[in-house]
Amino acid sequence: MDLIVDVGNTFVKIAVFEDDNIIFCQKYSEVNASIIFEIKNKFDTKRGIISSVRNNEAEVSAILNKINISFYWLNHKMEFPFKINYKTPETLGLDRVSAVVGAMAMFPNSNLLIVDMGTCITSDFVDENLVYHGGSIAPGFEMRFKALHHFTQKLPQIKYENQLIKLIGDSTDNSILSGVYNGFKYEILGMISAYEQQYNDLKIVLTGGDYKLFDLEAKNRIFADDFLVLRGLQQILILNEKN
């Protein structure tokens, strides 16, 4: 069994895979060596991988020193199942890499657009010839509400709570909700449309904590997976264990 640890900007996800099946998955606020050690012993995992987008190298190193299994710390020097055509590969977010690998396992040899709606919105494109080209990074859903409040003196801090959003806001609060929600949604749809105009038979894969807030329609061409990054991490682990 494989132990997978994904340290994101907001949460830490820890999962255990048995072959391709996730048999355990839990979110935590912080990465913790004792929690990882407990899960490792409970499921008798034999190998693992950890990815972190935080500046916590010392913390991750301390954890790896305590985990007595074949454990990888995801880095840019590892082997990936695609060629990277990116001017600054050393700055490429490893969460983005993992999501791409997860999508490639779902749709091999396809033109793929991966959209991750987490703390930030990231889009990533890999073509049918297994070449990764890059994508985009934009403020995430919650970040937009915070920015409107932080960078103005009078706009309130608004929190979206799954309410119905009207196109035309009839109050300041509702205008902010309309602007952020509809702007976010149509930004994603516009991005998808632009890619579809350039690439044939494009597969779109969504992930991240906020994608469920939006009805992005056309379910036959847009796919979603809550565990895309975790699946990608496992695929990277398998690939590097073989080599």
Per-residue pLDDT reduced to its tens digit, 99-110: 999 999 999 999
Per-residue pLDDT reduced to its tens digit, 144-163: 999 999 999 999 999 998 88
Q: Are 40 and 65 within one domain?
A: yes
Sequence-distant (6+) residues with CB within 8 A of 55 are none
Q: Average pLDDT of the chain? A: 89
Q: Are 2 and 119 within one domain?
A: no
Q: Are 160 and 175 within one domain?
A: yes
Residue written as tokens 């972190």?
52
Closest listed residue to residue 94, CA positions, set 64, 49, 62, 131:
49
Picking from 21, 54, 73, the residue at the C-terminal end of a domain is: 73
Q: Note the pLDDT of residue 236.
A: 95
Q: Are 14 and 104 within one domain?
A: no
Q: Are 153 and 197 within one domain?
A: yes
Average pLDDT value for residue range 198-210? 91
Work out whether strand 131-139 and strand 70-73 pair parallel, antiparallel, or are unpaired.
unpaired
Task: Give the CATH number of the domain where residue 13 resides.
Answer: 3.30.420.40
- DSSP at 16: E
Q: Note the pLDDT of residue 82.
A: 95
- Which helix (H) or strand (E) segment is 22 a member of? strand 21-28
Q: Are 105 and 214 within one domain?
A: yes
Average pLDDT value for residue range 30-35? 78
- Does the pTM exceed 0.75? yes
Per-residue pLDDT reduced to its tens digit, 42-62: 898 888 898 888 776 677 677
Q: Note the pLDDT of residue 220.
A: 60
Residue 95 annotated in active site: yes
- pLDDT above 90 covers a percentage of the chain that reads 60
Alpha carbon distance, N-terminus to C-terminus of the chain: 18
Q: Are 8 and 98 within one domain?
A: no
> What's the structural domain count of the chain?
2
Whether 217 shows a pLDDT value over 70: the answer reads: no
Q: Are 67 and 99 within one domain?
A: no
The whole-angstrom separation of Cα 116 and Cα 104 is: 15
Contact 116, 208 (CB under 8 A): yes
Q: Which of 95, 116, 124, 210 is catalytic?
A: 95
- Domain of residue 60, residue span: 1-73
Closest listed residue to residue 126, CA positions, set 226, 202, 225, 218:
202
